[in-house]
A and B are shown apart, each in its own frame.
Chain A
Amino acid sequence: MITPKLILLVAALAPLFGAIVSGLFGSKVGRAGAHTVTIAGVLVSFLLSCYTLYQLVTGGWGVFNENIYTWFEVGPLSAHVGFLVDRLTAVMMVVVTSVSLLVHVYTIGYMHEDPGYQRFFSYISLFTFSMLMLVMSNNFMQLFFGWEAVGLVSYLLIGFWFKRPTAIFANMKAFVVNRVGDFGFLLGIAAVLLWFGSLDYATVFRTADATLSGKTLEIIAGHPWQAATVIGVLLFIGAMGKSAQVPLHVWLPDSMEGPTPISALIHAATMVTAGIFMVARMSPLYELSETALSFVLIVGATTALFTGLIGIVQNDVKRVVAYSTLSQLGYMTVALGVSAYSAAIFHLMTHAFFKALLFLGAGSVIIAMHHEQDMRYMGGLKKYMPITFITGWIGTLALTGFPGFSGFFSKDAIIEAVHESHRFGAGYAYFCVLLGVFVTALYSFRLIYLTYHGKERFVVEHKDSTHAQSHHADEHGHHEPGHLEHAPHESPWVVTLPLILLAIPSVVLGWFAIGPMLFGDFFAGAIFVKEGGPLAELAREWHGPGAMLWHGIMAPPFWLALAGFALATYVYLFNRQIAQRAATLFAPLYRLLQNKYGVDDLYFALFARGGIKLGRGLWRGGDVAVIDDGLVNGSAALVQGVAARVRRVQSGYLYHYAFAMILGLIVLLGGLWLAAR
Chain B
Amino acid sequence: MFANWPLLSLLIWLPILGAIPLLLAGDRRPAAARTLALLITSVTFLLSLAMLSGFGASVAAAGTTDLGLLKNMHLQENLLWIEALNVRYHLGVDGISVALVLLTTFTSVLVVILGWGSVDNKVAQYMAAMLVLEGLMVGVFCALDALLFYVFFEGMLIPMFILIGVWGGARRVYATLKFFIYTFFGSIFMLIGLLYLYFKTGTFELAELAKVGLGAQEQAWLFFAFLIAFAVKVPMWPVHTWLPDAHVEAPTGGSVVLAAIMLKIGGYGFIRFSLPIVPDASMEYAWIVIAMSLIAVVYVGYVALVQEDMKKLIAYSSIAHMGFVTLGVFISLSLARSGNATGAAIGIQGAMVQMISHGFISGAMFASVGVLYDRMHTRMIRDYGGVVNTMPRFATLFVLFAMANCGLPGTSGFVGEFWVILAAFQHNPVVGALAAFTLIIGAAYTLWLVKRVIFGEVANENVAQLQDMDARETFVLVTLAIAVLLFGLWPQPLGNLMDAPIADLVKHIVISKGA
A505 in the interface (beta carbon within 8 A): no
- Comparing B54-62, B212-220, B358-366, B449-457, the segment that makes contact with chain A is B449-457
Among candidates B85, B191, B414, residue contacting A673 with C-beta atoms closer than 8 Å: B85
Given the complex, which residues of B lie within 8 Å of A187, measured CB to CB? Answer: 421, 425, 429, 432-433, 436
The yes or no answer to B195 lying at the interface (CB within 8 A) is yes
Interface of B is mostly: helix
Give bound CA distance, A653 to B301, whole Å: 37
Residue of A nearest to B392 (CB): A119
Chain B's closest residue to A180 (CB) is B440
What's the Cα separation between A72 and B498 when bound, in Å?
Answer: 12
- Scan residues 107-158 of chain A and give those whose CB is less than 8 A from a CB of chain B: 141, 144-145, 148-149, 152, 155-156
In the complex, chain B residues whose CB is within 8 Å of the CB of A668: 191
Instruction: List residues of A whose CB falls within 8 A of some B CB.
Output: 69-77, 141, 144-145, 148-149, 152, 155-156, 159, 162-163, 165, 168-169, 172, 175-176, 179-180, 182-183, 186-187, 189-191, 193-194, 197, 217, 219, 611-612, 614-616, 618-619, 622-623, 627-628, 632, 636, 639, 654-655, 657-658, 661-662, 665, 668-669, 672-673, 676-677
The reply to whether A619 and B439 form a contact with Cβ atoms under 8 Å apart is no
26 A-B pairs in the complex with CB atoms less than 8 angstroms apart: A73-B492, A74-B342, A74-B346, A74-B499, A148-B409, A149-B409, A162-B454, A163-B386, A163-B389, A165-B456, A176-B440, A183-B433, A183-B436, A187-B429, A189-B422, A190-B422, A194-B429, A616-B306, A618-B302, A622-B303, A628-B241, A636-B178, A657-B161, A662-B158, A673-B82, A673-B85
Pairwise interchain contact A144-B409, C-beta atoms closer than 8 A: yes
> A190 with B421: in contact, given A144-B409, A616-B306, A618-B303 (CB under 8 Å)?
yes
Q: In this assembly, does B448 line the interface, its C-beta being within 8 Å of a C-beta of chain A?
A: yes
State whether the Cβ of B373 lies closer than 8 Å to any Cβ in chain A: no
* Nearest CB of chain B from residue A344's CB, rounded to whole Å: 26
Stretch at the interface among B12-20, B149-157, B276-284, B466-474: B149-157
| The residue from A69, A186, A661 contacting B439, defined by CB atoms under 8 A apart | A186
Q: Please tell me if the beta carbons of B436 and A619 are within 8 angstroms of each other in the complex.
A: no
Q: Which 10 A-B pairs have the closest CB atoms?
A: A190-B425, A615-B306, A615-B302, A615-B305, A145-B409, A168-B455, A654-B165, A162-B455, A619-B303, A75-B342
Interface presence of B84 (CB below 8 A): yes
A187-B436, A623-B241 given; 7 more Cβ-contact pairs under 8 Å:
A74-B349, A148-B408, A148-B414, A163-B389, A172-B451, A191-B429, A194-B426
Q: CB distance B439 to A193 under 8 Å?
A: no
CA distance A677 to B83 in the complex (A): 11
Residue of B nearest to A162 (CB): B455
In contact, B84 and A673 (Cβ under 8 angstroms) = yes
> In the complex, what distance in Å separates the CA atom of A176 from the CA atom of B301?
14
Chain A's closest residue to B242 (CB) is A632
| Cβ-defined contact, B346 with A176, below 8 A | no
- CA of A141 to CA of B161, assembled, Å: 43
Residues of chain A lying within 8 A (CB to CB) of residue B386: 163
Distance of A603 from chain B, by nearest CB (Å): 12
Q: Is B345 close to A, CB under 8 A?
A: yes
Contacting A at CB under 8 A, from B486-507, are: 489-492, 495-496, 499, 503
- CB neighbours (8 Å) of B425 from chain A are 187, 190-191, 193-194
- Could you say which residues of chain B place their CB within 8 Å of the CB of A662? 155, 158
Complex alpha-carbon distance, A672 and B422, angstroms: 45
Other-chain contact of A179, B158, B342, B443, B455 (Cβ < 8 Å): B443
Collect the chain A residues with CB atoms within 8 Å of residue B503's CB: 75
With a cutoff of 8 Å between Cβ atoms, the chain B residues found around residue A654 in the complex are: 161-162, 165-166, 176
Q: How far is it, in angstroms, between the C-alpha of A191 and the C-alpha of B496 when the chains are bound?
A: 26
Q: Chain A residue with minimal CB distance to B395?
A: A162
**With contact pairs A162-B455, A163-B389 given, residues A615 and B303 touching in the complex (Cβ less than 8 Å):** yes
Q: Which residues of B contact A76 (CB under 8 A)?
A: 342
The answer, among B238, B418, B429, B447, for a CB contact under 8 Å with A172, is B447
CB-defined contacts of B157 to chain A, threshold 8 Å: 661
Question: B74 CB to closest chain A CB, in angstroms?
Answer: 21
Q: Is residue B299 contacting chain A, with contact meaning CB distance below 8 A?
A: yes
B75 CB–A CB distance under 8 Å: no
Complex alpha-carbon distance, A26 and B35, angstroms: 35
B242, B305, B341, B349 pick with most chain A CB within 10 angstroms:
B305
With A168-B455, A636-B181 as known contacts, state yes or no: A658 contacts B161, CB within 8 Å. Answer: yes
B388 touches A162 (CB 8 A): yes
Task: Tell me if A163 and B456 are in contact (CB < 8 A).
Answer: yes
Contact between B491 and A72, CB atoms less than 8 A apart: yes
- Among residues of B, the one whose C-beta sits closest to the C-beta of A165 is B456
Q: Mark B229-249, 1 if CB is under 8 A from A, else 0.
A: 000000000100110000000
Question: In the complex the two chains form, what is the Cα distance from A168 to B432 in whole Å?
Answer: 31
Q: Inside 8 A of A628's CB, which chain B residues have their CB?
A: 241
Task: Indicate if the CB atoms of B456 and A672 lie closer than 8 Å.
Answer: no
Bound CA span A73–B490, Å: 11
- Residues of B contacting A75 with CB < 8 Å? 341-342, 345, 503
Cα-based distance from A614 to B447 in the complex (angstroms): 18
In the bound assembly, the distance between CA atoms of A152 and B303 in angstroms comes to 25
User: What CA separation (Å) do A42 and B306 show in the bound complex?
Assistant: 43
Q: How far is the CB of B182 from chain A (nearest CB, A)?
A: 8
- Residue on B nearest A626 in the bound complex, by CB: B238
A636 near B177 with CB under 8 A, answer yes
Q: Which residues of A contact B492 (CB under 8 A)?
A: 70-73
Which residues of A lie under 8 Å from residue B181 when comparing CB positions? Answer: 636, 639
Residues in A with CB closer than 8 Å to B302 are 611, 614-615, 618-619
Given A77-B346, A162-B455, A182-B439, also A72-B495 (CB < 8 A) = yes
B273 at the A/B interface (Cβ < 8 Å)?
Answer: no
Which residues of B lie under 8 Å from residue A73 when comparing CB positions?
492, 495-496, 499
CB–CB B84/A665 < 8 A: no
Please state if B303 and A149 are interface contacts (CB–CB under 8 Å).
no
A152 and B408 form a contact (CB under 8 A): yes
Contact B299 A622 (CB under 8 A): yes
Identify the closest chain B residue to A619 (Cβ): B303
Convert B408-444 into 0s and 1s, putting 1 for each residue whose CB lies closer than 8 angstroms to a CB of A.
1110001100110110111001101100110111011
Pairwise interchain contact B238-A611, C-beta atoms closer than 8 A: no
Give the complex CA separation of A108 and B408 in angstroms.
Answer: 30
B403 on the interface (CB 8 Å rule)?
A: yes
Across the interface, which residues of A come within 8 angstroms of B162, CB to CB? 654-655, 658
Check A179 against B439 for contact (C-beta < 8 Å).
Answer: yes
Name the residue among B399, B403, B409, B456 with the largest chain A CB count within 10 angstroms: B409
Chain A residues with CB below 8 A from B436, complex form: 183, 186-187, 190
Chain B min CB distance to A660 (Å):
10
Task: Considering the complex, give the chain A residue whose CB is closest to the CB of B490.
Answer: A71
Do B429 and A217 have beta carbons less than 8 Å apart? yes
Q: By the criterion CB–CB under 8 Å, are A623 and B421 in contact?
A: no
Q: Is the CB of A665 within 8 A of B151?
A: yes
For B198, list chain A residues within 8 Å (CB): 676
In whole Å, how far is A512's beta carbon from the nearest beta carbon of chain B?
A: 37
Could you say which residues of chain A place their CB within 8 Å of the CB of B496?
A: 73
Which chain A positions have C-beta within 8 A of B410?
145, 148-149
In the bound complex, what is the Cα–Cα distance between A611 and B447 (angstroms)? 14
Contact A176 B82 (CB under 8 A): no
Whole-angstrom distance between the alpha carbons of A654 and B172 in the complex? Answer: 11
The interface bits of chain B over 316-341 (1 if a CB of A lies within 8 angstroms of the residue's CB, else 0) are 00000000000000000000000001
CB neighbours of B346 from chain A (8 A): 74, 77
Q: A162 to B191, alpha carbons, bound, how many Å?
A: 54
| B305→A612 contact, CB < 8 A | yes
A673→B440 CA distance, assembly (Å) = 53
B-chain residues with CB within 8 Å of residue A612 when the two chains form the complex: 305-306
A186 to B432, CA, bound (A): 10
Contacts of B166 in A (CB 8 A): 654
Q: Which residues from A are CB-within-8-Å of B424?
A: 190
Cα A77 to Cα B418 in complex, Å, equals 14
Closest to A178 in B: B443
Q: Which residues of A contact B406 (CB under 8 A)?
A: 179
Contact between chains at A152 and B403 (CB < 8 Å): yes
Contact partner, A190, options B306, B399, B432, Cβ 8 Å: B432
Q: Is the CB of B440 within 8 A of A183?
A: yes
